[in-house]
């Protein structure tokens, strides 16, 4: 391999994650489900992991076969026969008041599950005190018996309370178990089979399970072949809708024969040998351990040799007569294939359901984001309409304000015009000389010239009643009111969005998952996202409104200053200009009265001069065109809000994208299932 290829291989191994290959079976499918659904990117919950672990355990578990029947039908004895050991307690009263799961284990022991979820382990010899309803067993939910028996590697037996034990809770418990197991063995006594009491129970509880039910008639050792055959035929004919097959057995014969089976006897001896060693060697005072072990081993070997050399042909004969193997054959031949198929179907169905629920979870998040997206989109349209309406409203107000300035200028102009009077002035004209005298002679000529009474103008406009000052102060207040109205209404537009977002936010700040397999992290993220609605959504709009507030306030302040601090100076400048122009016309007139006339200011000329002094044309651009500072501000606000809307929509889309991709992964896996 070249250095380059070696480098590429090492790079792939280190940095590129390669998906593992899974077996093409049920366990492989579950392992793939765990690989996909429990990936960190999926933010899985402990509940989801627990459900997948349960499915994995269920896939590994052997089939479950329930043993049920009426009171005193010999269920415990029958189970002891199947197990080849007298483990379960038997008696004439309905002692099995709890469900007993009998599973494979490395050693013989029982686990007691209490209703509060706690567990206790005990020696199997103590089982009766946990199963006998005559004892104090109310706090016990169920028991599990573990035994190192080969048959339990393929089958989990479920010992149930009788369906006619008299206790309603027992009956309900058994009903629940029957729905969950792969096969049902209905145990009845031959002389009791087909009685009305049994028929009622079968009709009530077993009419749904014909395809996985076996009827076992116990105690065949007590009846003749003819009686047995007659009972079997009657049950087959009368209860065909409840059972796939009917088998007569003798649990006592089976237990007796199986308890002397060579393999079982050897296994029992081995268990006894190992138990003795464990018990003795755990004691610190045991001396000569090697000698002790050697002695026990010799005893064990001798017993095994005795078992191997014994003639147990009668026990084999007894086992065949008991018909117990036919029961096991039915389990393996009829129940197991259906159980495997049913398990495969059920687990795949459950995997699909889990994926469906997870898709439902991500659709919840998508809907939450869509709701937010919808609110922002509706606000964009509403805000544009509101700003356009405000723009029209305040453009009119601003134009009206400009008209008021013109009115004030006209008032000042009229006052100036009214205080332009005439004064008598003298000019000197040169007379023509005579023949007798060459010297120049001048004569005085009186004429009327215009005069601006500045002191009186100022006195009336600015000093006596402060007429103009009051009018301009009132005018500035009106500008301030427009400014406040503009900013207040702009803020109200932002409040529209704020209410929309708060309404969206309220239910999702406290949202909790509705299913244990839903992601705690994802729901925490959505709560955090909702709680930060101001930072995530509102702040950009709020900042823009604040910036607009500052700019509008600055423009109005400039406008107010231009008017309020300039009116007296503008009037004085205008009066001085008129006075100067009059003086210039007087000078020209006196120098050449035939060529130049005296200048008499007209009202329109005075108004024009005041407009120039007031910088009214600059104010006109600000207040009385289609491009006023308010128009510009509203156009900018509309555009900026649109830009922010697009940014927030992109932000939401990016957050949605992860959930969309997750749904695609889940849907793809569902197709594979």
Query: What confidence category does residue 364 fall into, taking pLDDT thresholds of 50, 70 and 90?
Result: very high
Model pLDDT, residue 53:
95
Q: Are strands 183-189 and 213-218 parallel, antiparallel or unpaired?
A: parallel
Model pLDDT, residue 641:
95
Residue showing tokens 């099995």: 96
Q: How far apart are CA 137 and CA 513, in angstroms?
A: 36
Percent of the chain with pLDDT over 90: 42
> Across the chain, what does the average pLDDT equal?
85
Q: How much is the average pLDDT of 477-505?
A: 94
- pLDDT value at 207 more than 90: no
- pLDDT value at 449 more than 80: yes
Model pLDDT, residue 9:
63
Asked which of 8-12, 25-29, 113-117, 448-452 is least confident by mean pLDDT, the reply is: 8-12
Q: Is the dihedral of CA 662, 668, 671, 672 positive or negative?
A: negative
Task: Indicate the DSSP class of residue 513.
Answer: -
- pLDDT value at 479 more than 60: yes
Report angle CA 501, 507, 513 to the nearest 5 degrees: 135
Identify the residue with better confidence: 257 or 606: 606
| Residues β-bridged to residue 143 | 100, 112
Q: How far from each other are the two terminal CA atoms of the chain, in whole angstroms?
A: 40
Residue 32's alpha-carbon distances to 52, 56, 60, 673, in angstroms, are: 11, 11, 15, 10
Q: How far apart are CA 399 and CA 626, in angstroms?
A: 10
Query: What confidence category does residue 167 fall into, taking pLDDT thresholds of 50, 70 and 90?
Result: low
Cβ-based neighbours of 183, under 8 Å, separated by 6 or more: 63, 64, 65, 66, 212, 213, 214, 331, 334, 335, 338, 339
Question: Which among 541, 557, 565, 671 has a CA at the least distance from the CA of 615?
Answer: 565
- pLDDT value at 352 more than 70: yes
Asked which of 400-404, 511-515, 641-645 is least confident by mean pLDDT, the reply is: 400-404
Percent of the chain with pLDDT over 70: 86
Model pLDDT, residue 2:
62
- pLDDT value at 185 more than 70: yes
Model pLDDT, residue 294:
77
- pLDDT value at 435 more than 90: no
- pLDDT value at 557 more than 60: yes
Model pLDDT, residue 379:
95
CATH class, 56-252 region:
alpha beta
Q: How much is the average pLDDT of 551-560?
A: 90
Cα–chain center distance at 219: 61
- pLDDT value at 388 more than 60: yes
- pLDDT value at 527 more than 90: yes
- pLDDT value at 645 more than 90: yes
Model pLDDT, residue 96:
54
Q: Are strands 245-248 and 119-122 parallel, antiparallel or unpaired?
A: unpaired
Asked which of 29-43, 163-177, 196-210, 376-390 is least confident by mean pLDDT, the reply is: 163-177
Highest mean pLDDT among 9-18, 29-38, 285-294, 300-309: 29-38
Q: How much is the average pLDDT of 459-487?
A: 86
Instruction: Please tell me the number of Cα atoms within 13 Å of 495 on its side-chain side.
Output: 6
Q: How much is the average pLDDT of 477-499?
A: 94
Q: What is the pLDDT of residues 122-131, one digit of tens each?
A: 888 777 777 6
Secondary-structure percent of the chain, ordered helix, strand, coil, rounded to 5? 65, 10, 20
Q: How much is the average pLDDT of 600-609?
A: 92
Which pair of tokens denotes residue 165? 């034990």
Q: How much is the average pLDDT of 217-239?
A: 90
Model pLDDT, residue 14:
57
- pLDDT value at 93 more than 50: no
Highest mean pLDDT among 155-164, 591-600, 650-659: 650-659
- pLDDT value at 357 more than 80: yes
Asked which of 72-86, 370-384, 516-530, 639-653 is least confident by mean pLDDT, the reply is: 72-86
Q: How much is the average pLDDT of 513-522?
A: 95
Q: 0.75 exceeded by the pTM?
A: no
Highest mean pLDDT among 149-153, 266-270, 471-475, 546-550: 546-550
Is residue 248 within 8 A of residue 228, CB to CB? The reply is yes
- pLDDT value at 44 more than 70: yes
Cβ-based neighbours of 36, under 8 Å, separated by 6 or more: 42, 665, 669
- pLDDT value at 419 more than 50: yes
Asked which of 132-141, 566-575, 580-589, 630-639 is least confident by mean pLDDT, the reply is: 132-141
Model pLDDT, residue 332:
87
- pLDDT value at 553 more than 50: yes
Query: What confidence category does residue 664 fall into, taking pLDDT thresholds of 50, 70 and 90?
Result: very high
Outline where 289-335 has alpha helix (H): 289-309, 313-322, 324-330
| φ, ψ (nearest 5 deg) of residue 245 | -155, 155
Model pLDDT, residue 468:
80
Model pLDDT, residue 81:
83
Question: Which among 71, 67, 65, 64 has a CA at the least distance from the CA of 163?
Answer: 71
- pLDDT value at 650 more than 90: yes
Cα–chain center distance at 561: 56
Q: How far apart are CA 670 and CA 352, in angstroms?
A: 6
Model pLDDT, residue 183:
85
């Amino acid at each position: 391999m070249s250095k380059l290829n070696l480098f590429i291989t090492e790079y792939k191994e280190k940095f590129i994650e390669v998906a593992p290959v899974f077996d093409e079976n049920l366990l492989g499918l579950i392992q793939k489900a765990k690989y996909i659904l429990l990936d960190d990117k999926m933010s899985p919950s402990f509940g989801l992991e627990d459900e997948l672990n349960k499915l994995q355990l269920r896939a590994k578990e052997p089939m479950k076969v329930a043993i049920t029947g009426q009171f005193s039908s010999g269920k415990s004895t029958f189970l002891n026969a199947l197990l080849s050991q007298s483990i379960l307690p038997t008696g004439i009263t309905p002692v099995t008041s709890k469900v007993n799961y009998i599973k494979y284990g490395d050693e013989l022991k029982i686990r007691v599950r209490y209703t509060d979820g706690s567990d206790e382990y005990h020696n199997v010899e103590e089982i009766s005190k946990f199963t006998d309803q005559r004892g104090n067993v109310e706090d016990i939910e169920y028991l599990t018996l573990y035994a190192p028996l080969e048959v339990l590697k393929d089958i989990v037996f479920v010992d149930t309370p009788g369906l006619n034990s008299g206790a309603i809770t027992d009956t309900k418990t058994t009903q629940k178990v029957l729905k969950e197991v792969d096969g049902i063995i209905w145990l009845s006594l031959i002389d009791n089979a087909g009685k009305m009491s049994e028929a009622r129970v079968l009709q009530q509880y077993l009419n749904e399970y014909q395809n996985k039910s076996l009827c076992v008639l116990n105690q065949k050792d007590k009846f003749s072949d003819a009686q047995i055959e007659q009972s079997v035929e009657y049950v087959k004919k009368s209860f065909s809708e409840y059972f796939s097959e009917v088998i007569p057995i003798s649990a006592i014969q089976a237990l007796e024969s199986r308890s002397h089976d060579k393999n079982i006897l050897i296994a029992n001896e081995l268990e006894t040998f190992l138990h003795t060693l464990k018990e003795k060697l755990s004691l610190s005072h045991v001396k000569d351990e090697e000698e002790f072990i050697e002695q026990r081993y010799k005893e064990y070997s001798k017993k095994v040799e005795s078992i191997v050399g014994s003639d147990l042909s009668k026990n084999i004969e007894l086992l065949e007569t008991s018909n117990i193997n036919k029961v096991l054959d039915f389990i393996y031949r009829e129940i197991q294939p259906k159980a495997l198929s049913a398990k495969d179907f059920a687990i795949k169905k459950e995997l699909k359901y889990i994926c469906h629920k997870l898709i439902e979870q991500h659709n919840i998040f998508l809907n939450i984001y869509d709701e937010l997206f919808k609110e922002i989109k509706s606000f964009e349209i509403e805000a544009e309409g509101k700003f356009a309406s405000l723009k029209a409203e305040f453009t009119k107000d601003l134009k009206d304000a400009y008209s008021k300035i013109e009115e004030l200028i006209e008032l000042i102009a009229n006052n100036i015009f009214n205080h332009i009077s005439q004064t008598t002035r003298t000019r000197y004209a040169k007379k023509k000389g005579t023949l007798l005298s060459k010297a120049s002679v001048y004569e005085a000529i009186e004429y009327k010239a215009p005069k601006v009474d500045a002191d009186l103008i100022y006195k009336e406009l600015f000093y006596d009643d402060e007429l103009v000052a009051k009018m301009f102060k009132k005018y500035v207040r009106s500008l301030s009111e427009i400014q406040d109205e503009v900013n207040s209404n702009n803020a109200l537009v932002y409040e529209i969005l704020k209410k929309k977002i708060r309404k969206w936010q309220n239910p999702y700040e406290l949202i909790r998952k509705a299913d244990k397999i839903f992601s705690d992290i994802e729901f925490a993220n959505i709560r955090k996202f909702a709680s930060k609605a101001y930072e995530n959504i509102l702040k950009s709009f709020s900042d823009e409104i604040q910036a607009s507030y500052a700019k509008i306030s600055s423009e109005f302040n400039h406008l107010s200053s231009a008017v309020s601090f300039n009116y007296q100076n503008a009037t004085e400048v205008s009066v001085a200009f008129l006075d100067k122009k009059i003086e210039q016309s007087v000078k020209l007139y006196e120098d050449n009265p035939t060529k130049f006339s005296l200048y008499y200011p007209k009202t329109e000329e005075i108004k024009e001069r005041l407009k120039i002094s007031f910088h009214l044309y600059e104010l006109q651009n600000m207040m009385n065109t289609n491009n006023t500072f308010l128009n510009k501000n509203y156009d900018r606000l509309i555009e900026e809000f649109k830009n922010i809307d697009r940014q927030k929509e992109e932000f939401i889309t990016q957050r949605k994208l992860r959930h969309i991709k997750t749904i695609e992964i889940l849907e793809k896996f569902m197709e594979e299932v």
